[in-house]
Chains A and B, each alone.
Chain A
Amino acid sequence: MAKKNTSAVETTTQDGGENAIFNKETEGLSQGQIVLRRFVRHRGAMTSLFIIVGLILFVFSALDQKIGPFKIPGWWHYGTEDLPELRSEGCKEGLVGCPTFSLRPKFLGGAGFGLGEHPFGQDDIGRDYFALVMRGAQRSIMVMFVIGIIGGTLGTIIGAISGFYRGWIDAVLMRFTDFIITIPAIIIGSVVGYHFGNLGVGFLAFYLGLFAWTGLSRLVRGEFLTLREREFVDAARVAGASNRRIIFKHILPNAVGVIIVSVTLLMSGAILLETALSYLGFGVVAPDVSLGLLISQYQDSFTTRPWLFWYPGLFIITIALSINFIGDGLRDAFDPRQRRRITKKDRESAKTVKKAGA
């Protein structure tokens, strides 16, 4: 081992020195371990991962959850259906239902640190806005994951098949993809809404997922087209592997970077798509709650009651931003050409290794 180290860093050019540092770091690690290491080192992505996991736990445990006949109580004392009285103490003249959330301590003239009764305020009829925002965030997160899973699966399967088999299968599937791209999802939504009424947020996410795979399938197809010409695929075929085995065991693991990255981007796009559709009235409809719907209902009250507008927006941005950063971290981690910045410390440690070796 020691001998290998020295030979790797003995090159004198700067480029060679950098290569040595990277080679040393990845020595003896599997591809998965290298990716994981790179991801963990990406500060923005790791912070975002913690934020999104924390947010999901926070949001989903806040309200009562009904799973079949069971009911898991949430830690927040209001639900979305409760109608407490509109409170007006502590608000500015002529306003009701203002937020009680305060960060300013008492000695600075504030109400002291605390959540209060309604930290995000109350809506027009007195419902607790914190509960509504929590419900909306649950909906958005759910839609995001459902679209990510359905779109990701469909896109991978269709892209993999058309890229692997080529020929007429490829032609048919890609024309089918073009065909799906031209159909606006809103139309399908309004057809379904007209005939079956409002089927709820789960169904919305489902059919949006059925239209979200097109970009991914093109990417995966491209990846499969190049990978299937590589030597290891030939080797596997000579060894007698079936098509299925080649696809799943040999090509797919090599394409998984592209897939994961574009699925995260798909998810961050999905959350904005859901809010946009709800804003236009084609997505989640009242009495159900979604973040886009909340903003659309209260956009005119920005000047008088800005909290009705700020909080749902901040949640949308936090979720989408975290997912985007995670996607960026994953892209860097999976990209073999991607190099992190070489710090002075790295050079120093490389030098000491060299000296020790000599």
Chain B
Amino acid sequence: MVAYIFRRLGILSVILFGSSFILYNLAAISGDPLEALRTSTDPNAKQQILALTRTLQLDVPPPLRYFLWLKGILAGFTGHIDFGKTRDAQLVTSVISTAIPTTIRLVFLATITAIVLGITIGIVTALRQYSRFDYAMTFVSFLMFSLPIFWVAVLLKEFLAIQFNNFLANPQIPVTWIIGLSVASGVIWSAIISGDRKRVWQIFGVVALGTAALLTLLSLTSWFAKPGLGPIVVFGISIGIAYGVTQLSTGLQNKAALRSAQAMAVIALVLYYPNQWLFDHHANWLLILAQLAATIGIAFVVGLKFAKIDRGPTIRTAAIAGFMIGIITLLDRFMQTWNPYMSTDAVNFRPIPTTGQVNPLLEPGNFWFTTLDILVHMILPTIALTLISFAGYIRYSRGTLLEVLNQDYIRTARAKGLNERTVIMRHAFRNTMIPLTTIMVVDFAGLIGGAIITERVFGWIGMGTLFNKAINSFDLNLLMAVFFITASLSVIANLVADLLYSALDPRIRAGKG
């Protein structure tokens, strides 16, 4: 195994060496970085040319200059990696190190959302194969495959940002919208749950009426201008989470798991006001992390308390439920920040921005304001990226689960009398996740290279923007740095995916055949 990994790493470094050498020379002959200066009438032009030649070592011919560059990269083994300097005589390392967090912020949440949403929908469509919901989702996923992201982005800017901001000035939902949304959600839920005709109509009626009532309430109380959940609603949602998580994780018949998940909801209710006090007076990321750790710790204790045998699943259920309840509590806190944030001069009641990654006018200092500011700037790019990338996960997880459900071991599991939940969650879902995991690894690596177009449309300065800028201004060192990082990540991710596959699936062995 170790020998296999080393052999692969050796091959990878040869490939990286070859492609970076060729790319360096290609990029070097693709343009003249001094062109603008040569034709300039600036009296200092000559000096500038000399200075630039010196910093970028332009007097060395490209094939040799490549080795100077490579020397800087190889110095990475001693801890002092050197990507050279950009045209503006900045260190490439520092430019890149500000861009990478931006890119990660942009793509990380979108990928997580796409994966969770895509796999969920994919599994539901596979379980309801050939239903109307299945056909509708097939169409939706193909539509998403066919959308150019810059086109989606413009639509989102218009309808989700500009018009939603207009709506917030007077947050009354029109009656036609209430009717439309209620009917739509009724149709979607009745299609997902399905059953005989009577049951479908029942579900449709309940969901549509519920949605209509909720929307009317939200509209009458101007909830969108002053959102918030409050302890009671948080508790209600928490109980719902407790049931949902238990059902998926162990099944509701496991009383210990259900009790411990419910206990997490009660603890969250008891701690609601202490948490608010902490949020108000000691808000920073350390606090959030400490709370996360505390949640896991409490879940552990609660799980041990309720479970007499088989403690692992109970603790797991309590921990997952606790984590999700924590997210709801945080969400509630952000909702409380919404109205004060909107009223600041920098935002001026138009909270959803169309471009940029932060609001430069916002005064720093308030943790909740700055964090919410980052979050609202992420809304549109995240939705755009999620929309175009989750279709792939729907198709893939649907196909894999259908394949798995045809296997003999599923029939065996059903034949020995396991209930459907156990068959799906324990036997089918786990095996579906094997190929999906490897795809996710490769996807994550590919994302660091950036979403060039998304960054450009939404005015973010991440890796994609740097790449674009480097090509347009013939900035060789910058270009090579972006290339080197993305290419290394993608080849390493492929290796990790192969190893992961063989670790997850004992039938496949890496390094053999």
Contact = CB atoms under 8 A, between A and B. Distances in A.
A280 interface: yes
12 contacts: A179-B18, A190-B30, A194-B30, A268-B146, A279-B150, A295-B154, A299-B150, A299-B457, A303-B162, A316-B148, A321-B146, A325-B142
Interface stretch (B21-29, B107-115, B292-300): B21-29
Contact of B27 (A191, A280, A316): A191
B16 A317 contact: no
B85 interface: no
Given A187-B23, A317-B146, A337-B406, A295 B491 contact: no
A191 B143 contact: no
Given A276-B148, A295-B151, A302-B154, A183 B143 contact: no
B405 interface: no
B491 A182 contact: yes
Closest 9 CB pairs of A and B: A320-B146, A191-B30, A321-B146, A182-B487, A313-B151, A182-B19, A324-B142, A341-B130, A194-B30
A341 B154 CA distance: 40
Contacts of A148: none
Nearest to A43: B135
Contacts of A187: 23, 26-27, 30, 471, 479, 483
A245 interface: no
Given A279-B453, A299-B154, A272 B468 contact: no
Interface in B225-256: none
B158 interface: yes
Contacts of A316: 146, 148, 151
B146 A191 contact: no
A275 B483 contact: no
Nearest to A183: B19
B490 A272 contact: no
B341 to A, nearest CB: 26
Interface string A320-341: 1100110010000000010001
B15 A188 contact: no
Interface string A281-314: 0100000000010011001001100000100010
B272 interface: no
B453 A280 contact: yes
Given A186-B471, A299-B457, A302-B154, 8 more contacts: A182-B16, A194-B30, A195-B29, A280-B468, A309-B154, A313-B148, A317-B151, A321-B143
Interface string B123-154: 00000001000000011001101111111001
A296 B158 CA distance: 16
Nearest to B484: A182
A184 interface: yes
A190 B31 contact: yes
Interface string B434-463: 000000000000000000110011000000
A107 to B, nearest CB: 25
Contacts of A268: 145-146
B77 to A, nearest CB: 21
A77 B473 CA distance: 42
A184 B490 CA distance: 12
Interface string A157-193: 0000000000000000001001101111011101100
Contacts of A280: 452-453, 456, 468
B74 interface: no
Contacts of B418: none
Interface string A202-229: 0000000000000000000000000000
B142 A321 contact: yes
A182 B31 CA distance: 21
A302 B153 CA distance: 11
Contacts of A295: 148, 150-151, 154
B11 interface: yes
Contacts of A282: 471
A214 to B, nearest CB: 12
Contacts of A182: 15-16, 19, 487, 490-491
Nearest to A317: B146
B138 to A, nearest CB: 8
Contacts of B31: 190, 194
Interface in A260-275: 268, 272, 275
Nearest to B147: A317
Nearest to B27: A187
Interface string B29-62: 1110000000000000000000000000000000
Contacts, number: 99
Interface residues of A, number: 40
Q: What range describes how many residues of B lie at the interface? A: 35 or more
Nearest to B395: A328
A347 B150 CA distance: 49
Contact of A272 (B19, B148, B452, B483): B148
Contacts of B29: 191, 194-195
Given A187-B26, A280-B453, A337-B406, A275 B148 contact: yes
A175 B150 contact: no
Contact of B158 (A194, A195, A302, A320): A302
Contact of B146 (A181, A194, A272, A341): A272
A91 B23 CA distance: 52
A188 B23 CA distance: 9
A324 B30 contact: no
B265 to A, nearest CB: 42
A188 B147 CA distance: 25
Contacts of A319: 146
B225 to A, nearest CB: 24
B137 to A, nearest CB: 13
Contacts of B157: 302
Contact of A178 (B15, B23, B26, B145): B15
A179 B151 contact: no
Contacts of A296: 150
Interface centre among B29, B139, B148, B150 (most CB of A within 10 A): B148
B66 to A, nearest CB: 15
A175 B15 contact: yes
A233 to B, nearest CB: 18
A320 B142 CA distance: 9
B143 A317 contact: yes
B52 to A, nearest CB: 19
Given A183-B19, A275-B148, A313-B148, A303 B158 contact: yes
A175 B456 CA distance: 33
A187 B475 CA distance: 12
A324 B11 contact: no
B27 A179 contact: no
Interface centre among A44, A313, A316 (most CB of B within 10 A): A313
Interface in B188-244: none
A97 to B, nearest CB: 19
Interface centre among A44, A295, A321, A328 (most CB of B within 10 A): A321
Nearest to A192: B30
Interface in A127-177: 175
Contacts of B149: 276
A85 B26 CA distance: 46
A175 B142 contact: no
Contact of B26 (A188, A317, A320, A328): A188
A279 B148 contact: yes
Contacts of A272: 146, 148
A313 B158 CA distance: 15
B295 to A, nearest CB: 42
